[in-house]
Amino acid sequence: MTPSPTADGGALSGDRRYEFRAIALLALGFGLVGLDRWLVMPLAPQIMRDLKLDYQDLGNLAAAVGLSWGVFAIVMGNLADRIGRRRIVIASVIGFSLLSGVSGLAGSLAMLMVARLAMGVAEGAYCPASYAAALDASRPERRGLNLGIIQGAFALFGLALGPIIATQLVAIVPSWRAVFQIVAVPGLVLAGAMFVVLRDPPRAARPAVTADPAPRASWRDVLARRNVRVAIPAIFCSMSGIFVLGAMTPVFLTDVVRLDGPQMGLVMSGLGFGGFVGQIALCGISDVIGRRPALVAAFLGGAAALAALVLTAHTPLPLFALLFLAAFCCCGANALLAGPVAGEAVPYTLSSTAMGLVVGLGEIFGGGIAPSIAGRIAVTTGLPTTLLTVSGVLVLGAVASITLIETAPRRGHGAARPETPAIAV
């Protein structure tokens, strides 16, 4: 029996069986997004040797995905609100899976760059559409937890398990090219399962999706919400923490702390595992204590952990623990801002647009611009100063988060998401 439409977004949000199945599939999809995105890094030695690349080329490959991801998260989030989340989600999974296979066929830097740019388009489209599909499927009191589970899969598969999967596969297959082609297969299978399971709310439950061109005004309607305006600079801070940590911590550990390769690898695994746990736990905690206090605590905790990592830790175990905590806080804050904070700020008919705008701008700045700025600081003043600067940026994120309007349903707010997008708050 299909539940009747509700004010909280959903004709789907009362069906617990559907909720479980949809969240599981969407989480697996975002896990594959993380795996495909970060696969280049553990395979970099083989790719660089085969295609004759240098470190600058490798950095450009990473930036290309981030920039195209950010732009198309904004564009396709808006489109998903018009034509439905399901179409965008399934097409995106097929797209980035096929493009992973194409990456393995690249015979030059130019071809690999084009494949990675196109992959950013598909993955950027998946991000806001999958978040909005999760909101459609979730009961109000589980929105934060469910969105955390989906985003946590990105860190688990991409940053924690990805290097293990890549290095183990490349040891038993002919080359790095075969690894890309192997990891394309699960996505195609997943797309078939999504085709069977996922569904959009009936059109009657989505009044903003009409033949009238009025939805184009949704950008203004989305930006009229205070929480969206606050989430944008705040996510700049959390995204900067994630991507600068990923780029600069390995060389900090080897060049400044003087860890050897195996020790550095062990410590860096804290980034993936901390991010995975933080995205799920912090979003779930925010369902209970509220979005605003959870965010403020996360930003301040991340700033303290990062400062302690730079100033006090010199051996692997404390370094692992502090990096785990910093990633827990940064990734958790990012998941909250990109998911529940942005999604609950608007009517559910505009949730893809709002979440795509927030995560897209965050990706452009945090994934594309911030690492470049961090590299310049590292060259001029040193790696410790770079990481301490990020700690200060996280404090700014806490200051911004204080101004959020609370929307967590269990805190007596936002139990019903607004249906009219014209109210500016």
Phi, psi of 362 (to 5 degrees): -60, -40
User: Per-residue pLDDT for 226 more than 90?
Assistant: yes
What is the DSSP track for 119-131?
HHHHHHHHHHHHH
Over the chain, what is the mean pLDDT? 84
User: Per-residue pLDDT for 207 more than 60?
Assistant: no
Model pLDDT for residues 108-158, shown as the tens digit of each residue:
999 999 999 999 999 999 988 998 899 888 888 888 889 889 988 988 898
| Predicted local confidence at residue 182, as pLDDT | 95
pLDDT band at 413 (very low <50, low <70, confident <90, very high): low
User: Per-residue pLDDT for 410 more than 80?
Assistant: no
Length of the chain, in residues:
425
| Predicted local confidence at residue 184, as pLDDT | 94
pLDDT band at 14 (very low <50, low <70, confident <90, very high): low
Q: What angle do CA 340, 225, 76 make, to 5 degrees?
A: 65
Report percent pLDDT > 90 for the chain.
44
User: Per-residue pLDDT for 208 more than 80?
Assistant: no
| Predicted local confidence at residue 55, as pLDDT | 66
Mean pLDDT of 367-380: 81
The CA-atom distances, in angstroms, between 232 and each of 198, 239, 317, 354, 356 are 29, 10, 35, 10, 11
Could you tell me which of 272, 309, 22, 285 has the C-alpha nearest to residue 166? 272
Model pLDDT for residues 240-258, shown as the tens digit of each residue:
998 888 878 877 888 888 8
Model pLDDT for residues 39-97, shown as the tens digit of each residue:
887 787 788 889 998 766 877 787 788 888 889 988 888 888 888 889 999 999 999 99
User: Using CA atoms, how far apart are residues 40 and 60, in angstroms rounded to an integer?
Assistant: 12
Q: Exposed, middle or buried by CB within 10 Å (0-12, 13-18, 19+), for 382?
A: middle
pLDDT band at 329 (very low <50, low <70, confident <90, very high): very high
Could you tell me which of 286, 249, 252 has the C-alpha nearest to residue 270? 249
Q: What angle do CA 55, 57, 60 make, to 5 degrees?
A: 110
The CA-atom distances, in angstroms, between 337 and each of 104, 125, 229, 286, 322 are 34, 18, 11, 11, 23
Domains of the chain with CATH codes: 14-200 (1.20.1250.20), 217-408 (1.20.1250.20)
Let me know: does 130 contact 140? Beta carbons within 8 Å: no
Q: Please report how the helices 291-311 and 383-401 are oriented relative to each other, as an axis angle in degrees rounded to 10.
A: 160
| Predicted local confidence at residue 111, as pLDDT | 94
What is the DSSP track for 18-65?
HHHHHHHHHHHHHHHHHHHHHTTTTTHHHHHHHHT--HHHHHHHHHHH
Report percent pLDDT > 70 for the chain.
88
Mean pLDDT of 210-220: 49
User: Per-residue pLDDT for 265 more than 90?
Assistant: no
User: Per-residue pLDDT for 210 more than 70?
Assistant: no
Contacts of 57 (CB under 8 A, 6+ apart): 48, 109
Name which residue leads in pLDDT, 320 or 421: 320
Neighbouring C-alpha atoms within 13 Å toward the C-beta of 99: 26
Q: Exposed, middle or buried by CB within 10 Å (0-12, 13-18, 19+), for 204?
A: exposed
Mean pLDDT of 367-386: 84
Contacts of 158 (CB under 8 A, 6+ apart): 31, 33, 34, 35, 37, 38, 272
pLDDT band at 289 (very low <50, low <70, confident <90, very high): very high
User: Per-residue pLDDT for 326 more than 90?
Assistant: yes
Could you give the residue ranges of the DSSP H alpha helices within 138-225?
143-155, 162-170, 176-197, 218-223
User: Per-residue pLDDT for 225 more than 80?
Assistant: yes
| Predicted local confidence at residue 158, as pLDDT | 84
Least confident of 246-255, 291-300, 334-343: 246-255
Largest Cα separation within the chain, whole Å, is 63
Let me know: does 29 contact 126? Beta carbons within 8 Å: yes
